[in-house]
Structure 1
Amino acid sequence: MTSPFVPGTSVHVEGRPGGPLAGLTFAAKDLFDVAGHVTGGGNPDWARQNPVPSRHAWAVQALLDAGATLTAKTITDEVSLGILGENAFEGTPLNPAAPGHVPGGSSSGSASAVAQGLCDTSLGTDTGGSVRVPASFCGLYGIRPTHGRLDLTGMMPQAPSSDTAGWFARDAATFARVSAVLLQEAIGPAVPDRLVIATDAFGFADPATAEALEPLLDRLKRLVPEWREEVMAPQGLSTWSRAQRTLQPVEAWQTFRPWVERDNPRFAFGVARGLVLASMTPESELGWAALVRREARGRLRHLLPPGTILAMPTTPFPAPKAGLPLPDLDGIRAAINMLCAHGGLAGHPQVSIPGATVDGRPIGLSLLAARGADALLVRTALALEKS
């Protein structure tokens, strides 16, 4: 296992004195521009073949303006095309909550740095689960905001219809302070009126994971006036997953195709294979997947009117071992995507909350809300920590 920081880099930018985040330190995933430093994207040829930025990414600048000090850039899965946190070029950051196991990706270094106490908060990105999964595996608070809510200027894209910028923290109070700045909204006192428990998501999770989350779920039920059980994906979680695994890779291919065709960059086998397969996706598959996305958006709008939250496991199991053979990884990634696909499909905000373990390894409980109700989820996380 390796350091969470990008090899060979040294970054330090002081925050504005007296801001609401004064005294906090943060790191930024190596997809976010930092003026005067290359944005490497976890691939040596991307770093070599793209210009050094002259301005900070919006999210980096927002944290600096609020008083937080930037101390590092962090490792990412190669061009953000990963979910486990293993980078063939830069290594696998340590998961201090589960040594010998993956930290989760693609915001692996950002999660690892916070979990190790090397910074107070960090910026990540989430397209297909890249904040939610490492938050679960490393025992952190993590958020995938409402799609389109944050300004992504200066953030390296992957699949724009699913891309978001998110962040991590070890405790709910710090998480709320950072959330108020990046969401540009006060984290008020309101808690949800209704709770929906996604029975299909809990049913898909490993039995040990579902059982480990029960105490957190019981505390959540006591916070909310009423709760009920519902199936989140009537078409099947596997249908939603297949649709997202069709749409997202094709968008990623469209994003990186000009670079690939111009510069013929080096890739790890798994990343290259994914781009090649995406490039051959037939139009009929894309049309089908677009219809499933429309269904998923309608279903979550129905389940999540204002004042309602939905609870589900963030991941179906805790962090797998690091360094597994390639043939073992496809099934692991597919299972993780079963509980993450809705994020890219429907764009609702989601917060992963720590507080449970399986065999000593963390597992997160996720809360979803209506689009735009990000602050309600952050406030619920605060209330749950104090309950």
Structure 2
Amino acid sequence: MTGQVRLPETPAVLAVRRGVREWVAARGGPMPVVVGLSGGADSLALVAAAVVEAGDVTAIVVDHRLQDGSGEVAARAAEQARALGCVAAEVVAVEVGRDGGVEAAARVARYAALESVRGERPVLLGHTLDDQAETVLIGLARGSGGRSIQGMAAWNEPWGRPLLAVRRAQTRQLCADLGIEPWEDPHNLDPAYTRVRVRTEVLPLLEDVLGGGVAQALARTADQLRADGEVLDALTADLLRAATVGVDGRRGSDRPAGTTGNRGSGPGDSDRPALSIEILATAAPALRRRTIRAWLADQGIGGVLNAHLQAIDELVSNWRGQGGVAVAGGSRDHRLVVTRAHGTLTVRAQPRNDAT
């Protein structure tokens, strides 16, 4: 390490260090890591603690080039990282598109940049308990389903989040304890962004009305739902494996491990894996719908609306001779349709003027 700063043993410093230490221990001990650094208090605190607790730390500052002077902000953050003891600090400039809005496009560009430079190292991100609470609350308000209100995981390879039990006030205090001046992103105060209003208006109101502890309660809820989700994911994988029928006519449980049938891409797609109606029909409805969603995702079909998922489920549970259900994907001339045929659910590519 280079010129590591000796950290004072203040409550804030110890809290942040504890979060990083426990995350590192759960991954098997010290290791080289990359830290995504914005220059804000959360990521600066993460860098300071990671240098002490994780091993060799490389800071990567992504310059989105969306604001005047962003290059100077990025260069200053890299300089601060080197002063804290990082073995390297690099600025990566990116082009931000417009798909899904500027905020979403910036996130896509940022993660792609971090992925491109990390090598085999995990990437640590400075999301805190407050970020987790905001994520859960927004997901809950949007009715996005159980997975969205599971929040962020501490480890979702290659992304690590050691500070999910640390409050934002503690990261700010660590910077103050070290005499570091973090960058204040003006976007974090712009009420045009939903998350900003949740942070500055909604959560404080809930804390006031409910007597405090709301952020911690939301984070606990995410942890509990994530644990439940892991069990459901395992059950879903078992049902998917049992119900999958490939072009060889054998079900998933009869085929060699690691094979789920071929995936076609042309009209007809007769070689796509299908699902046995008989096996699906015996499963609990919630598990059956999760399995259908996983089956579609395995074929590259995402973004399935709940209404479409319900309609597909009714091809199994409430069959009345209805036609297939169109899903995302396909081509200019053909669209993908989930149909029931010969005792299976199958994804077919049908001409758009003939698809139901």
Q: TM-score under structure 1 normalisation? A: 0.28
- Bigger share in helix: 2
Query: Relative contact order (alpha carbons < 8 A, sep ≥ 6): 1 or 2 greater?
Result: 1
Q: TM-score under structure 2 normalisation? A: 0.30
